[in-house]
Amino acid sequence: MGTPADDLKRWIPGLLATWRGLRREVRRGPRPPDDRLLPDELREVAAAVQRLSLGLTRDRKLIGARYLEDDRLLGAYLLFYWPVSYLQARGVLSELPRRPRSALDLGSGPGPVAFASLDAGAAEVVAADRSARALAAARRLATEMGEPIATREWDPQRRGDLSGLAGGRKLDLVTLGHVVNELFPGEGAAERRAGLLEQALDLLAPGGSLVVIEPALRETSRALLEVRDLLVARGVAVRAPCLFRGACPARVRPTDWCHAERPVDPPPLVEEIARRAGLRKEAVKMSYLVLAPKGEGWREPPPGLVFRIVSEPLPSKGRLRYMGCGPEGRKGLALQEKDVTQRNRAFEHLLRGDVVGIATVEPRGDGLRLSPESDVRVIAAAGRPVT
């Protein structure tokens, strides 16, 4: 198992072959390259990516629609959003306390999270979705790549027992990637979404994990946090990213939300599509939760004053500042530039998602001020489990 970026590169020829298999016209002449698009292909894909971007992250008119039944949109998803979702999933799966062996991906589409689970160590993966076209693409991709994957049809809008999708057994991992925000719109959405996640939690074996990944938009992130709070109030423990055990403090102010960000060096194909579609992809961003099975409590945080960094560096004249969230709640953390020493120098290089331990601070307003005597250590880098 290599790095997520390295593993993604090997999928590009298979994704291109699968996409070309979706196209209705038959190209005459020499065989096209297996790692890049021809000019006319690039124009077609970039236009469809723009449609998906508009409908999923801007006006959101595609939410709830069967857009993966449209071959052009499915193809654009395969070549652009599939790699992005794969990297998001690998970034979250790297935080699991143990490597999963059996996995179920609910709302899989053409399988980016399912295949990411395979590359993260799973031996058996079931991809479940309501789109027959998307599942067919996942099977074709599995054949192209020689990877084992099973597919099942699943419509989340229809009430039913999920255990049949798991073959009646308990699983190490259940995932929902960019699914929950598209379900049950309108009044009562949070309650119905929480109910679905409770059903998914029932599928987990002891020590297993439920992973939910959502877009890093304020609307979708805050909606996920509302579902989180319902589940936490019912006794569900959060493995990541939360260190705070109560109602999420990011929901106090309507302008706040919580998301993760991982730097990425995208494959040339994805970079080319992004440039042509007018999108930027220097990093992958997502909101996510890793939930423990029912009955398993919260893990004890590392001793001392501990925070997960939940912001980028915040502009502030003469000082370094971040937002941190830990067992003590959500607080501003600040260090004057003149107070930087060897003991606290790690504070200068923190990334969103890092978990840090800080000693010797003083309260200032609604935050904490570090001093030259403050000790700062990275307990777990972004994307690594907190042990």
Q: Does 53 map to a domain?
A: yes
CATH code for position 317? 2.40.50.140
> Using 50, 70 and 90 to split pLDDT, how confident is the model at 160?
confident
Q: Is 245 in the same domain as 116?
A: yes
Q: How many domains does the chain have?
A: 2
Give percent of the chain with pLDDT exceeding 90.
86
Q: pLDDT tens-digit profile of 85-95?
A: 999 999 999 99
Tokens linked to 380: 């777990």
Please tell me whether residues 250 and 348 are part of one structural domain.
no
How many Cβ atoms are within 10 Å of 63's Cβ, its own excluded?
A: 15
Together in a domain, 283 and 311: no
Q: Which of 236, 257, 291 is the last residue of a domain?
A: 291
For residue 386, being part of any structural domain is answered with: no
Is residue 148 in a domain? yes
Kindly state whether residues 261 and 339 are assigned to the same domain. no
Q: What is the pLDDT of residues 114-151, one digit of tens each?
A: 999 999 999 999 999 999 999 999 999 999 999 999 99
**Any idea which residue has 């054949």 for tokens?**
143
Tell me: do 354 and 287 sit in the same domain.
no
Spatial distance between the Cα atoms of 298 and 245, rounded to a whole number of angstroms: 8
Q: Provide mean pLDDT across the span 101-118.
A: 98
Residues 162 and 20 occupy one common structural domain: yes
Contact by Cβ (8 Å): 74, 110:
yes
pLDDT at 281: 72
What's the CATH code of the domain at 143? 3.40.50.150
- Tell me what pLDDT residue 1 has: 56
279 pLDDT higher than 60: yes
- The pTM assigned to this predicted structure is 0.95
Please report whether residue 298 resides in a domain.
Answer: no
Task: Mark which of 291, 317, 351 sits at the end of a domain.
Answer: 291
Span 147-162, average pLDDT: 88
Same domain, 265 and 334: no
Residues 77-91 have a mean pLDDT of 96
What is the spatial distance between Cα 244 and Cα 306, in angstroms, rounded to a whole number? 10
Q: If pLDDT is split at 50, 70 and 90, which confidence band does 104 have?
A: very high
Which residues neighbour 36 within 8 Å (Cβ) at sequence distance 6 or greater?
Answer: 16, 268, 269, 272
* Whether 237 and 341 share a structural domain: no
Statement to judge: residues 255 and 358 lie in one domain: no
Same domain flag for 190 and 310: no
> Of the candidates 232, 266, 291, which is a domain's last residue?
291
Are both 21 and 76 inside the same structural domain?
yes
Q: Is the pLDDT of residue 38 over 90?
A: yes
Q: Is 300 domain-assigned?
A: no
CA distances (Å), origin 126, targets 60, 68, 97, 113, 295: 28, 19, 21, 11, 25
Contacts 24+ apart (CB under 8 A), 346-350: 346/376, 346/377, 346/378, 347/320, 347/374, 347/376, 348/320, 350/309, 350/313, 350/322, 350/378
Note down the domain range covering 333. 305-380
In this prediction, residues 220-241 reach a mean pLDDT of: 98
Burial of 1 per CB tally in 10 Å (0-12, 13-18, 19+): exposed
- Residue 387 resides in a domain: no
When pLDDT is averaged across residues 302-310 and rounded to a whole number, the result is: 96
Same domain, 233 and 337: no
